[in-house]
Structure 1
Amino acid sequence: MSSVADILLWGVLPYVVLLVVIGGTVWRYKYDQFGWTTRSSQLYESRMLRIASPLFHFGILAVLVGHIVGLVIPKSWTDAAGVTEHMYHVLALSIGIFAGVGTFLGLALLIYRRRTTGPVFMATTTNDKIMYVLLVATLTAGLATTVLSLWDTSETSYRDTVSPWFRSIWILQPDVGAMAEAGLSFKVHVLFAFVLFMAWPFTRLVHAFTAPVHYLFRPYIVYRSRDGASRSGSVPVRRGWDPVGTRDRDGTGRRQGGSSRREKSSSGR
């Protein structure tokens, strides 16, 4: 028998989170399109950013793929594919630790850069600070669940608790009992993730919902054509910029023809 707290946390709260994420994203897109940006600080500092940003973004993508595999794919499917529980456990731990540590290091470098670089720190808002706190808390809780699973083998596997509960949410039949049997570390990780997702549409993280797919299909932008290049077609193309007739300067910095002007002026005295 599930308690009232379990029903509220694992049966009601997930739909509240979904409502806030969807509604907040729609509201942000409708009323704050100019704010739908990462507010890039590359102009202020780019050396450390070139390391920290790819490390964080590629790490978070690997974490996302790992969560999709672990939560969406049922255990029966991997068993049918010949993947034993030991093989799955070793693979999940190795990839999870690698992706989690990479993401955490990238995030740590981003925070260090933002705190130690004056112009970047001045551009940091309270909203950004809350976002970083939630990211650190969620990542730390996720890494803790991975590390604790190395020593506490008696804890019920998330594939028998968290995964069935996650899939049941999308068919509107939340399996509260399955999530209630999960370990404390998994519950803490999920609660931190809930808070992060509810704050997501109202922070700079919202840019993750806008994939620049149109960049792959947009035409090239021609800034200028090559001088003397042959053009096809019968209609002549007018130059965008025409020379204004400025005389070239010689090696001494004087305009060519300057001596002749001086000679003319001296002869007319």
Structure 2
Amino acid sequence: MAMLEQFLWVIYPYVCLVIFIVGHIFRYRTDQFNWTAKSSEFIEKKQLMAGSLLFHLGIIPVIMGHVAGLGIPKSWMHALGVNDHLYHIGAVYVGGFFGIITLLGMLILTWRRFTLRNVRRLSSASDLAVNALLLLIVFMGMYATLVTNAVQPEFDYRETISIWFRGLFVLSPDASLMGEVPLSFKLHALAGFTIFAFWPFTRLVHVWSVPLNYISRSYILYRRHRSN
């Protein structure tokens, strides 16, 4: 059992992170022309717009919440005047609200990807896998937030998962901290690292293609041609 915990909570996360970094470098150097989201908007537009809007509106606050919950120690929150009760309200109610928005968006996008024949034909195996995995990650996150926290209110992930997570980045992870963590949180964490390993080889790479050069680019002038 100890060996399994070492693999799941030490070896596996590092393997996923190494694949994430090396995979991006490799793909950028060898496959820049396919660094794209491969939009299927011309096939179906309404579900894509609704799902994308909900997903992107929800995922940014959700990511910020993860950064705060996992990256900022509990004692620092107390020093800033954020007690456990106030943090719990923010994590469950505010995080739950944006999590539901994200989940609805992913449900629409996944339903569209799997049920519309032409969209499915355009999709690669990696597209389908990413959609399914993202849906699982969001669902397990919502289940952990709304269900597990209600059933096991005594569990505080900032005393276990957060400390283990920060330990990964200072090269001293403690796998024993994850031993008593509820299953929903464990599945959410493992699926999250799995998506990092998939990332460089899927359409998710388009996240890094932010067209910042458009900010400083000169305007394109269009002139009407007047025939003599």
Q: TM-score, normalized by length of structure 1?
A: 0.79
Contact 2:27 2:200 in 1 (8 A): yes
Count of residue pairs brought into register by the alignment: 227
Corresponding residue for 2:112?
113
How much identity, in percent, do the aligned residues show?
Answer: 40
Alpha-carbon distance between aligned partners in 1 of 2:184 and 2:95, rounded to the nearest angstrom: 15
Larger Rg: 1
CA distance in 2, matches of 1:9, 1:127: 23
Task: Give the equivalent residue in structure 1 for 2:198.
Answer: 199
Residue 36 of structure 1, CA deviation? 0.7
Q: Which has the higher helix share?
A: 2
How far 1:215 moved relative to its partner?
2.2
Q: What amino acid is aligned across from residue 175 of structure 1 in structure 2?
A: D
**Structure 1 segments of 4+ aligned residues over 4 angstroms from their partners:** none
Contact 2:52 2:105 in 1 (8 A): yes
Question: How well do the aligned residues superpose, as a CA RMSD in angstroms?
Answer: 1.8
Matched, 1:149 2:149: yes
Q: In structure 1, how many angstroms separate the alpha carbons of the residues matched to 2:37 and 2:45?
A: 15
- Return 5+ residue gaps in structure 2 as ranges: none
Instruction: Give how far 1:96 is off.
Output: 1.8
Any unmatched runs of 5+ in structure 1?
A: 228-240, 246-269
Give the superposition deviation at 1:131: 1.1
TM-fit CA distance, 1:142: 1.0
Q: Secondary structure at the residue paired with 2:97?
A: helix
Instruction: After superposing the two structures, state which structure 1 stretch, 132-141 or 64-73, moved more.
Output: 132-141
Instruction: Letter of the 1:151 partner, please give it.
Output: V
**Counterparts of residues 12-161 of structure 1 (less than 5 Å):** 12-147=11-146, 148-155=148-155, 157-161=156-160
Tell me the amino acid that sits aligned with residue 102 of structure 1: I
Q: 3-state SS of the aligned residue for 1:211?
A: coil
Distance 2:162 2:59 in 1: 20
- Structure possessing the higher relative contact order (Cα contacts under 8 Å, 6 or more residues apart): 2
* One-letter code aligned to 1:96: G
In structure 2, C-alpha distance between the alignment counterparts of 1:89 and 1:164, rounded to whole Å? 17
How far did residue 121 of structure 1 move? 2.7
Does residue 216 (structure 1) correspond to residue 187 (structure 2)? The answer is no
Aligned-partner residue type, residue 191 of structure 2: F
